[in-house]
Amino acid sequence: MRVVLQRVSEASVTIEGKVRSEIEEGLLILLGIEEEDSEEDIKWLCGKIAKMRIFNDVNGVMNDCLLDVDGDAIVVSQFTLHAGTKKGNRPSYIKAAKPEVAIPLYEKFVKRLEQELGKSVGTGEFGADMKVRLLNDGPVTILVDSKNRE
């Protein structure tokens, strides 16, 4: 399971001209799911996301986490995070989970993150053509992979 965390001043997801989710300070989370991902990956990632110290404290140093700043989050499914680019110029998405595997894991990820944060989390719509707008704060963009726990 891979996520791209983007610290934002604001973000929104629009589907078919209607705003589905929008936040101010917080994280836009792009989530890529592989076939072998499990609830253990969800538990580890959601805990990491809630406590990752990437928000500025009163001294302007990145010491605060999403919980500390009472920030919000939007989770957007992003199968292209598992693109294989070794051969040729057309990415392969063979490692990305099929919808019958990915959708239940996506929903469990959102519920677990809501538990970690103690609040609702915005979402996109799995498989939809979404327009994602963000104002990246910093910019701060971090890639976290549950299979590579550095």
With the CA atoms of 102, 103, 106 and 108 taken in that order, what torsion angle do they form, in degrees rounded to the nearest 10? -110
Judge whether 80 counts as a catalytic residue: yes
CA-wise closest residue to 133 among 120, 122, 119: 122
DSSP H stretches of helix in the chain: 39-51, 99-117
Structure token pair of residue 106: 């996506």
Annotated catalytic residue within 6, 55, 79, 109: 79
Judge whether 78 counts as a catalytic residue: yes
Contact 9, 78 (CB under 8 A): no
Annotated catalytic residue within 6, 78, 109, 123: 78
HSE of 15, CA atoms in CB hemisphere, 13 A: 11
Judge whether 6 counts as a catalytic residue: no
Contact 84, 94 (CB under 8 A): yes
**Beta-bridge partner residues of 32:** 2
Point out the residues that are catalytic: 78-80
